[in-house]
Structure 1
Amino acid sequence: MKCNIFGKRILFLGGFLMAAMLFLQPTFAYSIPKTIRIGLESSFKNPGSISIGNTSILVGNTAEGEFFEGGSINSNGGFVVEKDLGSYIKLEHSFSSYRQALECADEYKEKGFSAVPAYLGEELWSVYILGSSVAEVEDAGDYDASKAETSAERIIIKSGREAVAVSGDGVILQITAEDNQGIVKLGDKQYRGALELQGSASGIIVVNELPLEEYLYGVIAAEMPASYHEEALKAQAIAARTYAITKIGCHPGKSYELCDSIHCQVYQGVSAETERTIAAVDKTCGELAYYNDKPIEALFYASSGGYTENSENVWGNKVDYLRAVPEIAEAGDNNWEKIFTAEQITSQVTAKGDTIGQVRDIVITKIAPGGRILELKIIGSSGEKVLSKDAVRTYFSLPSKLFTINQKGGGVISTQQNSVAANSVVSAQSDSNSIVSSIATNGIVVLQQEDYLGENGQRQEVSEIKNTSEEKDTKVSRNSFVTTNTEVQNVSISTATGGGTFVFQGAGNGHGVGLSQKGAQGMALQGYNYEEILKHYYQGIDIK
């Protein structure tokens, strides 16, 4: 059952994630929008033409969230939308329906003119005539005429080779479907709501305008497997809804509020929808995650590998609710390995414009309490390159920052199944002879390096993890783990072995801040509900 959240007042957190830092800006009163505008950048990146598979469409435009029907157009073979840079003469007369404009255009066609109905907005139409002069048009009919502006924004709709409509001067045309249960078939995808089609210098800009909740239908299954537990899907729905609200405005100067790519959230329209993901949205309708009564930036990613990360260790700003926490039960095997030769790394560094000569070593210089590498230096024969924060991951296109190089570095994470009871703590020895602490939680063993040699040659503690839960069964209570040492450690760990090869072994996938999707699945399978899941990954929040 669909919900109605229009008019609900919230405090809007005007922040969004950019490539290199997290911006948290002042709050202001805000209403959950009736509709949201999604730029289909990923699915339709400035195409020269787009096919519409529907046989009956409504042409119109939207003003203040309301769609005005300009008229119905039918075609047994569907439609094609193209940019239109033609030079038109326009009639200085408006018609109150598409049918009237079409009849007028047909009269001019009978006289040898190339005429087509032109949409002027709301319910108004005119007729545009291609390849003629004002005098010729006026002599042939009863209406005054003038030269239409040539615009890169104009688009034309065709049925076969015949033009059936163009957008008038300054009008941005939208379409909805009269058939197919109101779902527009655009190219090989399908979308709810209205599709705005506007020409540009590089192609056609496509914007999908639809209710926020229906937008989420196309997000959840695109961001999380539909087979995941219901509680994990509901947690993802609230995270995605909250993230969308706080992300609005991250495309300044564009005609849309969010895009359909990972820059915002992956959105695939009806093609991605399933009954289970729709239910997750409907069952959490209108619910948002708040911190101090403000919607949060509900960041999420695939897998932490065993331990999430503090926001300041990835982008720069400390955010109170984005704190590093151990996983309770992350699902699946999240380990990975990548091997590079010194020559390959040299080539990568050079290709990025960094001139440091032949790569000799990679030195780890900073490690976070959870084991992620926060800074390293690539040592070359004629210089060095320092990578910090998320660049440690993205520079080499690594899945995460939680890794060792040639078995040296930060935390060693294992997602292997283990029979040790939950809440028990045992000692273990890693392959690199670092002392580690194994915390068995619900069958998932997290191996966390406890100390290593620092710059001064003394052993330094990385992190001590304390279990404060009084529960003794196999379900660990929410927020039952706290770190007693949250300081980033300065170290100097050379990873070169003399063999000319650097083996990166790690766990996790993504930036590691906020909700781990595989962690949410693991918690759901252990019996946690969506609120408990969200409150584990976003510390101190409320759901309402």
Structure 2
Amino acid sequence: MHINQQRIRNVVGISALVIPMIAQAKAPDSIRIGLESVYKDATTVQIKSEEPLAIGYFEGERWRKEGDLDTSEVTVSLDSQTYYNYQEVYGDFETAYDALEIYDQEAVVAYIEPGEYKIYTTDDFEADEVVVSNAKRINVKDTRGEVVLVSENDAYPLGFRGGYNQYDFPATGVGNSRIYRGVIEVVKGQSKGLTAVNQVDMEEYLYGVVPCEVSASWHEEALKAQSVAARSMATFQYSRFLSRGYNLVDTTTSQVYRGITSEHDRTTAAVEATRGEVATYNGKVAETVYSASSGGYTADAKYVWGNSVPYLVAKPDPYETDHVPWKRTITTRELEKCVANAGKNIGSVESVRIGSYSQSGRVNELTILGTAGEYTVTKENTRTFFGGSNDGSLKSRKYQFTPYNGVSIPDVTIKPGTGGNNTDEVAILTSQGMVQLELEGLWMESEETYSKIRDAVYIKSAHEMITSDIFTTSSGGSFEVEGDYNSTSKPATVYGDLTLYGYGYGHGVGMSQYGAKGMAEAGFSYKDIIEYYYEGVVVE
């Protein structure tokens, strides 16, 4: 998932008619998801059910049922057949279907637009006119391969809604294994073939998102934070794929969504507990991007995608304690392939230079030096540049050529309320282990304002963020804490094959999912989590 650099695309044609725009500080009631992980530019789309499929269309966000097919499984394809048209118009599918009896066996019902159906035939005998083929006409075939319906309308796409015995709500199957709530449509949203689209209630969409983004076993406050972040993301990016005929896609380009088969009772409960809540900044829904792991320090959007966002700034991530370091070895031959993929020719690769790091300890500039020149990438490209290597893009930009000397995160955090049942104690997590101290006997020297300063660590309590470089106990003893975050992140050059050592997973902007998990376990609420990771936002 990445920040939306093109806020609203120019939409041509009539797709905008079927996807209403939304208020700036309110989540929409429903949403259209392009199921690109199942069908994208496909020749055919398979739709299933355990009961006869209902057909209809959406009028805004309201489903209008037009009738039922005689089959529980259909295959949808583009149709270039030449048809002949009888000009009589029928007001609904059922009436048109009944009228087929007076025509020959080659006749089929054609959906023209809501409330308008005609009869098509492949036999030109006594037909009124020729129906010119078009690039977006689709046909619907049953399991015997017979065409049972033709659709001419891409503005109000024909929708299919099914049912399964194990669910007490409408559910429709797509492909071999996915089942979705709501209605399935088929559009030609891509350049070549067809894409399946799921129009579904916003909250029910989130039922299938949250368990795909985090583990359902996590603390309920982390699940609630993920629910608010996902709802806010979907609302902010609502217009992103309008030119394709839907709002979002079901992959990490938007948010991972796999329908009913991925749902879990605990994540559904978290969605319901936060129903309708979004993160707002200055009265508008915020783009609450998130990633799996920040590696101990989140990234500023400016140094990832190039544009500053006031609520997406770099900040320490002290509760992300589940750090898993990663290591990658990349050969010069792989590097040469990556350079070639970028359309550059620098000869044989000789060395790689890290030119600079960002405030959050991420590589900001990377140069590949060859016998015939050099090639430099910056910001997020220092991670995605390696997409042509054997193992693809790097897990994060938080890497260097030598092993880290311990975990490169602030060494000390305070977790309130972790001292058993004694709320008068706090646990201080240091790089050497956990120290339990009485709250009454602990005090801290802090700056008057919150800011990043050298040789300081960041401590997050349930009430405020403070910085300190000395902790003093009531007995008068004190100990210093070293916290120069970038002390091990220095520019360097390596020759030959490349070995990288890193922390974190993803772009690192916004909420760290593992950091949210740690904050929840430390006693923070989901609102605390959201309002910490997104500077200046409120949940409402």
Is 2:54 aligned against 1:58?
yes
C-alpha distance in structure 1 between counterparts of 2:413 and 2:202, whole Å: 44
CA 1:445–1:302: 2 relative to 1, 3 Å: farther
Question: 1:443-493 deviations in whole A, cap 9, x for unaligned?
Answer: 6779xxxxxxxxxxxxxxx96253575x9xxx675534599x99999x983
- What is the match of residue 407 of structure 2? 414
- The equivalences for 1:125-140 within 5 A come to 125-130=117-122, 132-133=123-124, 136-138=125-127
**Alpha-carbon offset, residue 96 of structure 1:** 3.6
Is 2:483 aligned against 1:494?
no
- What is the match of residue 437 of structure 2? none
Question: 1:24-58 deviations in whole A, cap 9, x for unaligned?
Answer: 99x98565323212112222112222222213111
C-alpha distance in structure 2 between counterparts of 1:123 and 1:158, whole Å: 22
**Alpha-carbon offset, residue 23 of structure 1:** 6.2
CA 1:421–1:153: 2 relative to 1, 3 Å: closer
SS class of match (2:196): strand
Which of 529, 532, 537 is residue 541 of structure 1 equivalent to?
537
Q: In structure 2, give the amino acid aligned to 1:99.
A: E
Question: 1:293-328 deviations in whole A, cap 9, x for unaligned?
Answer: 222110101101111111111111222211212122
- What is the match of residue 528 of structure 1? 524
C-alpha distance in structure 1 between counterparts of 2:484 and 2:405, whole Å: 18
Determine if contact 2:318/2:413 at 8 Å carries over to the other structure: no
Is 2:174 aligned against 1:186?
yes
SS class of match (1:62): strand
- What is the match of residue 389 of structure 1? 379
**Alpha-carbon offset, residue 169 of structure 1:** 5.8
Which of 93, 107, 122 is residue 114 of structure 2 equivalent to?
122
Q: In structure 2, give the amino acid aligned to 1:163.
A: V
Determine if contact 2:45/2:196 at 8 Å carries over to the other structure: no
- The equivalences for 1:155-170 within 5 A come to 155-161=138-144, 162-168=146-152
- What is the match of residue 209 of structure 1? 199
Question: 1:71-117 deviations in whole A, cap 9, x for unaligned?
Answer: 11132x622222222111122112344333223213323xxx40112
Which of 163, 175, 180 is residue 160 of structure 2 equivalent to?
175
Is 2:78 aligned against 1:80?
no
Determine if contact 1:38/1:259 at 8 Å carries over to the other structure: yes
Determine if contact 1:369/1:486 at 8 Å carries over to the other structure: no
Which of 297, 303, 307 is residue 293 of structure 2 equivalent to?
303
CA 1:422–1:69: 2 relative to 1, 3 Å: closer
Determine if contact 1:312/1:318 at 8 Å carries over to the other structure: yes
- The equivalences for 1:330-479 within 5 A come to 330-396=320-386, 397-407=393-403, 414=407, 422=414, 442=429, 464=454, 466-467=456-457, 478-479=464-465
**Alpha-carbon offset, residue 524 of structure 1:** 1.3
Determine if contact 1:177/1:183 at 8 Å carries over to the other structure: yes
Aligned length: 470
CA 1:375–1:482: 2 relative to 1, 3 Å: farther
SS class of match (1:80): strand
C-alpha distance in structure 1 between counterparts of 2:88 and 2:283, whole Å: 54
C-alpha distance in structure 2 between counterparts of 1:422 and 1:199, whole Å: 54
Is 2:313 aligned against 1:329?
no
Question: 1:420-450 deviations in whole A, cap 9, x for unaligned?
Answer: 8849xxxxxxxxxxxxxxxx9646779xxxx
SS class of match (2:103): helix
- What is the match of residue 248 of structure 1? 238
C-alpha distance in structure 1 between counterparts of 2:363 and 2:153, whole Å: 56
C-alpha distance in structure 1 between counterparts of 2:306 and 2:463, whole Å: 30
Is 2:483 aligned against 1:506?
no
CA 1:465–1:63: 2 relative to 1, 3 Å: farther
Determine if contact 1:322/1:539 at 8 Å carries over to the other structure: yes
SS class of match (2:256): coil
Question: 1:364-415 deviations in whole A, cap 9, x for unaligned?
Answer: 22112222121122222221111211111111211111111134xxx75628
> Comparing 32-41 with 161-170, which one deviates more in the overlay?
161-170
C-alpha distance in structure 2 between counterparts of 1:251 and 1:154, whole Å: 21
CA 1:147–1:443: 2 relative to 1, 3 Å: farther
C-alpha distance in structure 2 between counterparts of 1:351 and 1:520, whole Å: 36
CA 1:445–1:129: 2 relative to 1, 3 Å: farther
- What is the match of residue 107 of structure 1? 102
TM-score by length of 2: 0.78
- What is the match of residue 49 of structure 1? 44
C-alpha distance in structure 2 between counterparts of 1:253 and 1:345, whole Å: 36
Determine if contact 1:151/1:169 at 8 Å carries over to the other structure: no
C-alpha distance in structure 1 between counterparts of 2:413 and 2:238, whole Å: 45
Structure 2 spans left out of the alignment, 5+ residues: 10-21, 387-392, 416-426, 434-451, 470-482
C-alpha distance in structure 2 between counterparts of 1:304 and 1:174, whole Å: 41
C-alpha distance in structure 1 between counterparts of 2:380 and 2:86, whole Å: 58
Determine if contact 1:149/1:169 at 8 Å carries over to the other structure: no
Question: 1:258-283 deviations in whole A, cap 9, x for unaligned?
Answer: 11122221221222211111111111
> Comparing 151-160 with 345-354, which one deviates more in the overlay?
345-354
C-alpha distance in structure 1 between counterparts of 2:500 and 2:357, whole Å: 15
C-alpha distance in structure 2 between counterparts of 1:445 and 1:120, whole Å: 71
C-alpha distance in structure 2 between counterparts of 1:339 and 1:197, whole Å: 43
Q: In structure 1, give the amino acid aligned to 2:318.
A: I
Q: In structure 2, give the amino acid aligned to 1:164.
A: V
> Comparing 194-203 with 514-523, which one deviates more in the overlay?
194-203
CA 1:413–1:64: 2 relative to 1, 3 Å: farther
SS class of match (1:523): helix
C-alpha distance in structure 1 between counterparts of 2:394 and 2:413, whole Å: 33
C-alpha distance in structure 1 between counterparts of 2:322 and 2:6, whole Å: 29
Which of 306, 317, 324 is residue 316 of structure 1 equivalent to?
306
CA 1:441–1:128: 2 relative to 1, 3 Å: farther
Determine if contact 2:66/2:94 at 8 Å carries over to the other structure: no
CA 1:107–1:443: 2 relative to 1, 3 Å: farther
> Comparing 79-88 with 345-354, which one deviates more in the overlay?
345-354
Determine if contact 1:246/1:297 at 8 Å carries over to the other structure: yes
C-alpha distance in structure 2 between counterparts of 1:445 and 1:327, whole Å: 18
Identity between Structure 1 and Structure 2 (%)? 32
TM-score by length of 1: 0.78
SS class of match (1:56): coil
C-alpha distance in structure 2 between counterparts of 1:71 and 1:391, whole Å: 51
